[in-house]
Amino acid sequence: MPAPSETASAIEIVARFGGIYEHSSWVAKQTASQLAGLDDIETIANIMADCVDNASNERQLALIRAHPDLACKAQVAGVLTENSSDEQSSAGLDHCSADEYEKFQILNNKYHEKFGFPFVMAVRHSSRAEILAAFENRLGNDHEIEFETALSEIHNIARLRLRAMGD
């Protein structure tokens, strides 16, 4: 059984970093002992990314599937996590024209049909046009490449979230 201070520290770490990976606090839980006492964002990001990269394929797939579609009904309804909402808003996805919104819905559906998980992209600092172009380009990937690309984008999102915490 861990000492009380270790338990408190783990709880604090999970409270602080549990939302870095979308709906996947297991990453913070599994890395809590390694993250204790660390302040360097890149070191924290690398430890958390290593945890994800060494997780089972099923757990990685669940992590990818935990991400919302871009410019989706959940955003319109206001039920995204605060991080996801901020990220999508920063890319202007909350101001899509009717045509853009329809295009996102069509691409989201095609992507889900082909890969079985949502299109994931670190959209902060991207325009709607850049996101749509990436969407269409990545639809040409095979499943293995796109799975790895989604995980890479998730790591980028995590780094951006960690940096935002330090601001």
CA–CA distance, 149 with 118 (Å, rounded to integer): 12
CA–CA distance, 77 with 150 (Å, rounded to integer): 25
Work out the angle at residue 135's Cα, subtended by the Cα atoms of residues 151 and 87, and round it to the nearest 5 degrees.
65
Specify whether 67 is catalytic.
Answer: yes
CA–CA distance, 114 with 140 (Å, rounded to integer): 10
CA–CA distance, 10 with 40 (Å, rounded to integer): 18
Q: Which residue in the list 23, 67, 112, 143 is annotated as catalytic?
A: 67
| Residues with active-site annotation | 67
